[in-house]
Amino acid sequence: MVASGGTDSSTMGAGIRDRSHPARVRAIRAGFLLVPLCAAWIFATLVGHDPWKPDEAYTFGLVLDFLDRGDWVVPMLAGEPFLEKPPLFFVTASAFASAFGSVLPLHDAARLATGFYVAAALAFLALTARELYGGRLGWTAVLTMLGSLGLIVRAHQLITDVALLAGISIAMYGLACSRVRALRGGIALGVGGAVAFLSKGLLGPGVLGLASLALACFPPWRQRTYAQALLIAALVAAPAIATWTVALYLRSPDLFSTWLVTNNFGRFLGFTDIGPHQPRFFYLYTLAWYALPSLPLAAWGTWSRVRGGASLREDPGILMPLVVLAAILAVLGVASDARELYLMPTLLPLALLGALGADRLPAAASVAVARTAKIAFGLLAGVLWLLWLALLSGRPSGIARMLDEFQPDYSASFTWPALAVALAATAAWVVASRARASTGHVAVAQWAAGATLCIVIVGTLWLPYIDAGKSYRSMMQSLLRSVPDGGCIASRHLGEPQRAMLYYYGHRTTLRDEAAVHDTPCSILLVQGWRRSGAAAGSEDWVPVWEGARAGDYKELYRLYVSPARHPAPSRRSLSARP
């Protein structure tokens, strides 16, 4: 690790590289230590489990459709157009599924696309830090990002938001370069904007456009080079964006309207009832834990630079991250729907400022951060180990019984390779934690190492247990055994994840009553409901033949019906079957 000490103000924002021999040696040594840590963090839980409810399940359904039809214009979910998001992530995930599907389960191979986009986001974050602060803070920014609590779960899922994260990270590098290098900055900004758009629609370009215009108001970016970079960015992004949008419009103006009006403007402004809603100030109090430790480090880095005489209007290393952060929060604050997932891009500018804060962290504060990480992640890792041993051995019986009741579909077992990896990760963390955290760089590295340890333990020892409760596999297999051969299946209130998994595990689609686009009378009906209110067919003409839910799920309820002509009245035993 590099030694602590404030970044010299003369190098801030100039992208000056320390090319001395000792600096190169330290960089190589840090790379040998930190590349394996980053790889372990990224890939720890990417494989070894089914698509999980809710986001992974429906996303994988869209990947399946592209694998089946190869249609990049209109994404389809279980036989129906699904125009919530453009197709870039689905196409990328299908490419990974095609490339690695022969050696991995199809869903695991597709999930490698998540690792690809997260790695790209981290790589361009490091490049942005080097551009703004010089070569010494690239790794620190990455480690600050990896330690952020909000990123731990979401950055390992098969979701389009990781592609959005990569797009914004690439664009931020373009913004950092565009003050002095128009071509490089413009290309990066344009590619990042195109990736962001083709991942989640107008949200990413809206944030980047707002940030780009705001930066033009400040002296470091108020120059001809930046104007040239913006022109180049528009020329780079426009063809990629226009290719899909024009193709979609030519395919179907109605589908284009569904995507643009309903799923973009309607969802954002709230005149369509799509997406979750949260209380006021949801993002502010969520960010307080979501962005640990980058948020307090970012606040310290900004304050210490300003206290040292830096100007918020003229210091690029502070100005650019703050403007991007403000743009993201402004767009999210105006949006009608809200989820903690949408905060993920805020971690990029916060990690940049957090790296600056770590670089200027006093020795006593560095020790406090490192000690907090050791205690918190050490206790969590210890609890994970002890609970896993209780689950495996059945002792103490009370804890083992509680864990069994929480996941009744799980049979305790382990593999020696998984245990070996978990033990090796624990030993490596113990060794890393013994280093004295005399600098903020070491403290941040130890925080990231603790987070990585817990992720590895979950990915090796606990993944089968978690998968037993979040997978639809056993439920769908039980359901499909009760579906009569032949005939169409109608569905009522069946969600997108469930339709996707029914297609994945049984290659069966349903004709949804809500869609009202079919006149085919089906003799089979699948209803999704709730245990408290049931899953009624709404008519006595339907005969129930199966009822079930995911193991350990005490809220949802699914019931399968057939018409009396297709099936006799079921016995009590068949009706009460559970997966």
Enumerate residues 6+ apart whose C-beta is below 8 A from 579. 409, 474, 475, 476, 477, 478, 479, 548, 549, 550, 551
pLDDT at residue 513 in the model: 85
**Other C-beta atoms lying within 10 Å of the C-beta of residue 142:** 24
Longest dimension (CA), the chain: 84
CA 403, CA 420: separation in Å to the nearest integer?
23
Dihedrals φ, ψ of 419, to 5°? -65, -40
CA angle 342, 347, 353 (to 5 degrees): 150
> Which helix (H) or strand (E) is 109 found in, with range?
helix 106-133
Give one DSSP letter per residue of 427-465, joined into a string. Answer: HHHHHHHTS---SHHHHHHHHHHHHHHHHHHIIIIIHHH
**Closest to 175 (Cα-Cα) out of 349, 334, 353, 6:** 349
Dihedrals φ, ψ of 545, to 5°? -125, -10
Tokens of 304: 């210490």
Q: What is the pLDDT along the chain (579 residues), one digit of tens a residue?
A: 333 344 443 344 443 344 445 544 444 455 556 788 899 999 999 999 999 988 999 999 999 999 999 999 999 999 899 999 999 999 999 999 999 999 999 999 999 999 999 999 999 999 999 999 987 799 999 999 999 999 998 999 999 999 999 999 999 999 999 999 999 999 999 999 999 999 999 999 999 999 999 999 999 999 999 999 999 999 999 999 999 999 999 999 999 999 999 999 988 887 777 767 788 789 989 999 999 999 999 999 999 999 988 888 899 999 999 999 999 999 999 988 889 999 999 999 999 999 999 999 999 999 999 999 999 999 999 999 999 999 999 989 899 999 988 888 888 888 999 999 999 999 999 998 888 888 999 999 999 999 999 999 999 999 999 999 899 999 999 999 999 887 789 999 999 999 999 999 999 999 988 876 556 678 899 999 998 888 888 777 899 999 999 887 888 999 999 987 655 444 433 443 434
**Closest to 577 (Cα-Cα) out of 540, 541, 542, 548:** 548
3-class SS of residue 312: coil
- Could you tell me the CA-to-CA distances from 445 to 58, 439, 441, 449 in Å, in that order? 35, 10, 6, 6
CA 222, CA 323: separation in Å to the nearest integer?
14
- Could you tell me the CA-to-CA distances from 258 to 86, 185, 474 in Å, in that order? 12, 34, 34
**Closest to 388 (Cα-Cα) out of 450, 444, 321, 459:** 459
In the chain, domain spans: 52-134+158-289+317-345, 363-470, 473-575
DSSP β-ladder status, 556-562 and 510-512: unpaired
**Cβ 157 vs Cβ 52: under 8 Å:** yes
Taking each continuous run of H as one helix and of E as one strand, the counts in the chain are 24, 7
pLDDT at residue 7 in the model: 41
pLDDT at residue 486 in the model: 77
Give one DSSP letter per residue of 361-376, joined into a string. Answer: --HHHHHHHHHHHHHH
pLDDT at residue 308 in the model: 86
pLDDT at residue 280 in the model: 78
